[in-house]
Chains A and B, each alone.
Chain A
Amino acid sequence: MNRKSTATPRGGPETDVQPPRLDAPVPDDGHGPEGTAAERVGPRAAGLPWWANPRVGLVVVIAVLVLGFSSARPAFLDVELTLVPLQRDIAVFAVVGLAQLAALSLGHMNLAVGRMAALAAFSAGLCYDRFGAPLVVGLVVALVVGALVGALAGGIITATGVNSFVVTLALDFGLLGVVALLYDRFAGGVAFSVRPPGLDALRSDTFSDYCAGSVCGPPVPLLVPFALVALLAVGLFFGRTRQGREILMTGSSPRAARASGIPVGRRIVTAHALSGLLAGLAGFMLATANGAFSASIGESFLLPSFLAPVLGGTLLAGGAVSAFGTVLGATLTSVIQKGLNLLQFEADALQIFIGVVLVVALSLDRIRQVLAERRGVRP
């Protein structure tokens, strides 16, 4: 049929037909949109002065805030009551940020990130409640369910061509009802009360509770390695694998990506599945941190999920991501929240100050960019 008779780059998203000689790997020479993609994910931003790197700015802002808060309130450095809970929050919100980053890499959004987390947490809770599954099985189920729902979102976007904003918004509404119904049906309320063995340790222990002889670990919560693994995996995926780079190219310019023979449709599904998988991980982590698999998991994920990657230098328009920057973004917002809590701001003042500090942080980023451009360097 004529489907096979042509090799034009205008094939459908799922086409395997690739134009001759255009099936080259992503160029690494730093030119064009692909170059932008490679720059941000790579270990070093080629051609930019070090101070124009948004991550450096974030580290400086975080350091200044930590110094300021701890001199105003020495309790900021209290290990048990401040630093351990702070690390737990950062771990959860970094993973939430990475989940959004996976969608942002395409220039898409995942507005259902919280509800995907809720559904994943429900699945884990169901495994524990009904089948007495060990902790790790629930985690795997949560990841799989998250990835499947994400892939479904990606599939709908690819198949219909409808904007990701609309698709994930609709999915969010749908899942809101589904999650409530599922809890109603299977948990007889809004939460599973079951606690699999190991959950309490995972929730409240730090490595300092585990000793080999007289040497104990650092006061780092057991949840933190989950976020580190996610960070490493996402960083390597976008920075080192062909699939990851193809996703970024798709984000930069779907048309160019298609013309280069990238299976755009499949990459969209992959990116959204990754987003769902990470949302599932975040849901599992939050359920662990809060101590129950309940329907309210993920309700507060949406705004922080955008804040962390955007602060860290991920572009809303797609094509450039920074996994490490996302962790820094999550750290910044958590540090601000913690510090202002310690200073006992009133509810309204707290919101205003968080807004102000974020605007300042983003403005500094923009100032750095402008300065870099004036010096003749194109970021």
Chain B
Amino acid sequence: MSVRRTGTAAVAVLCLTLTAAGCSKREAGSATGGDGSTLSASEIKVALVPGGPHPYFQPWKDAGAEEGKELGLSEVTFNETAGWDQTKQNDVLSSLAAQGYNAFGIFGVSPENINSTFTDLTDQGFQVASLASCPAGDENKAAFCLATDVEVAAYRAAQAAIEAMGGEGSLVHLTGNRVDSNTQRRIAGVEKAVSETGGKVELIQTVTDIDVDLQSAQRAVADLLAAKGGDIDGIVTTAYNPAVAAAEGVKEAGLPIKVVAIDDDPSIISGVEEGSVAATVTQNPVGQAKVGTYALSKLLEGCTMKEPGVAVDSGSFVVTSDNVATYDDERSAKTDELMTAFQDDYLSC
């Protein structure tokens, strides 16, 4: 009782004293160095950190490791324990930094917060790249952003769907987390393609928040087809789980709906091959990990970005039955092209 009261009073007095003493803030930047010093390849440890476990990021693991081996880096690790939670991801990143990792390729869980995370890391002398997603807004505090331009990819997917529908009819858009700025950009991309038809194509519904897992996506697709399957001419999906669910659902229901999917899950690719999926838009995760690891290591070796924070499109590829056998060559070619672009245009060594 009296002890506690005394304690409270002591805290209050301390606070007042500190305020009255007019504490001054220490100059920042003196505590940690890192900037300016260059590292050799064998001192470089790169961490590729997606927002959480997702099939999209799996190619990062091998692509990053291979590139690391080729460049003679000390280590390239892949850590997907962030669990789609920005707080946890920040925790994972600081833990990796504490263990000596000095370059980070990050897919930020929430694009609107991620610049703060980037600033934290760069202030401590680490090199950071934003991979597979750029921060929301116009600013990027990472050295560079290497990602699919999601609005362009969604726009191209919607165009492919509209073309498959014969240029008219009703379209449905299935996508992911509504409160994610990337989803907002995907929605904008689809709306742009629809508005370009001058009213011939109507976007009758945009279903969000169904990329959590395959089951919820399947349920949403089943509900959608049961409710208005007969009125729908095309479905465009801009997230992984809805894409797989829509491809399967439409095939099972035997409806004449044109589905445009995203990414290259085996079930989607086989759908494209046999014609039940009109097209799919694939992205370039291998290129992101490979080129990202390369550029990060060069930055630690002393190169600088000619234009810090530059956003580079890692490419999106419309795959139809015509090019389903050869799209991977196109993708490798894009990766090589990106590598050259970084060497010649983006990096200054």
A residues apposed to B, CB below 8 Å: 43, 73, 75-76, 78, 80-82, 85, 89, 92, 179-180, 183, 189-191, 193, 201, 203-205, 208-212, 216-217, 232, 286, 289-292, 294-296, 299-300, 337-338, 341-342, 344-347, 350
Closest to A118 in B: B179
Contacting residue for A193 out of B28, B92, B112, CB 8 A: B112
Residues of B within 8 A of A (CB): 4, 8, 18, 21-26, 28, 31-32, 52-53, 77, 79-81, 83, 85-88, 90-92, 94-100, 109-110, 112-113, 115-117, 120, 123-124, 136-137, 178-181, 184
B24 touches which of A190, A203, A212 (Cβ 8 Å): A212
Using CB atoms, name the residue of chain A closest to B17: A212
**Besides A81-B95, A290-B86, 9 new A-B residue pairs in contact (Cβ under 8 A), listed by A number:** A80-B31, A92-B87, A193-B136, A292-B112, A292-B113, A292-B116, A300-B85, A344-B77, A350-B81
Docked CA distance A104–B43 (Å): 51
Closest 9 CB pairs of A and B: A291-B116, A191-B112, A295-B179, A75-B98, A341-B95, A81-B98, A292-B113, A210-B23, A290-B113
Q: 8 interchain pairs (CB within 8 A)? A: A75-B98, A81-B97, A183-B179, A212-B23, A296-B180, A300-B87, A341-B92, A342-B98
Instruction: Evaluate contact between B23 and A191: CB separation under 8 angstroms.
Output: no
- A98 CB, nearest partner CB in chain B, Å: 17
Within 8 Å CB of A78, what residues of B?
Answer: 98
- Residue pair A212, B21 in contact (C-beta under 8 Å): yes
Known: A82-B98, A291-B113. A286 touches B87 (CB 8 A): yes
Are B91 and A189 in touch, CB under 8 angstroms? no
Cα-based distance from A180 to B85 in the complex (angstroms): 18
Minimum distance in angstroms from B104 CB to a CB of chain A: 13
Q: Quick check: A345 and B81 within 8 Å, CB to CB?
A: yes
Min CB–CB distance A333 → chain B (angstroms)? 12
Which residue in B23, B77, B181 is a CB contact (below 8 Å) of A189?
B181
Bound-state CA distance A350–B137 (Å) is 33
Bound Cα distance from A204 to B28, whole angstroms = 11
Give the Cβ gap from B101 to chain A, nearest Cβ, in Å. 10
Contact of B112 with A212 in the complex, beta carbons under 8 Å: no
Residues in B with CB closer than 8 Å to A190 are 112, 136, 178-181, 184
Is A85's CB under 8 angstroms from B90's CB?
Answer: yes
State which of A203, A209, A346, A347 has its C-beta within 8 Å of the C-beta of B25: A209
Residues of chain B lying within 8 A (CB to CB) of residue A291: 113, 115-117
Contact A346 B81 (CB under 8 A): yes
* Contact call B110/A296, Cβ cutoff below 8 A: yes
Residues of A contacting B96 in the complex (Cβ-Cβ under 8 angstroms): 341
Contacts of B32 in A (CB 8 A): 80
Asked if A189 contacts B184 (CB within 8 A), the reply is yes
A208 CB to nearest B CB, Å: 8
Known contacts A296-B179, A347-B81; is A89 also within 8 Å of B98 by CB?
no
Say whether A81 contacts B26, CB under 8 Å.
Answer: no
What residues on A are CB-neighbors of B8 within 8 Å?
A: 232
In the assembly, what is the distance between CA of A83 and CA of B301, in Å? 29
- The reply to whether A342 and B110 contact each other, CB–CB distance below 8 Å, is no
- Take A191-B136, A210-B24 as given contacts and tell me if A292 and B91 are in contact as well, using a CB distance cutoff of 8 Å: no
Smallest beta-carbon distance A30→chain B, Å: 17
CB distance from A335 to the nearest CB of B (A): 11
Residues from chain B with Cβ under 8 Å of A337 in the complex: 88, 91
Contact of A216 with B95 in the complex, beta carbons under 8 Å: no
Q: In the complex, A217→B310 CA distance in Å?
A: 39
**Residue of chain B at shortest CB distance from A84:** B94
Residue among A43, A180, A211, A295 making CB contact with B4, cutoff 8 Å: A43
Q: A292-B110, A341-B95, A347-B83 are in contact. Are A189 and B88 (CB under 8 A)?
A: no
Q: How far is the CA of A208 from the CA of B136 in the complex (A)?
A: 32
How distant is the Cα of A345 from the Cα of B91 in the complex, in angstroms?
13
Q: Which residues of A contact B18 (CB under 8 A)?
A: 212
Q: Quick one: which of B95, B96, B115 has the most chain A CB within 10 A?
A: B95
Q: Which residues of B contact A299 (CB under 8 A)?
A: 85
- On whether A294 and B91 interact (CB within 8 A), knowing A191-B136, A210-B23, the answer reads no
The CA of A180 and the CA of B187, in the complex, are separated in Å by: 15
- Give A257 to B47 CA distance when docked, in angstroms: 57
| CB < 8 Å neighbour of B90 from A189, A290, A345 | A290
User: From residue B334, how far is it (CB to closest CB) to chain A in Å?
Assistant: 29
In the complex with contacts A82-B95, A338-B95, A344-B77, A191-B116 CB distance below 8 A: no
Tell me the bound Cα distance from A43 to B92 in angstroms: 37
Contact A193/B88 with A211-B24, A212-B23 known, Cβ cut-off 8 Å = no
Residue of A nearest to B182 (CB): A190
Contacts of B112 in A (CB 8 A): 189-191, 193, 292, 294
Chain A nearest CB, measured from B269 CB (Å): 26
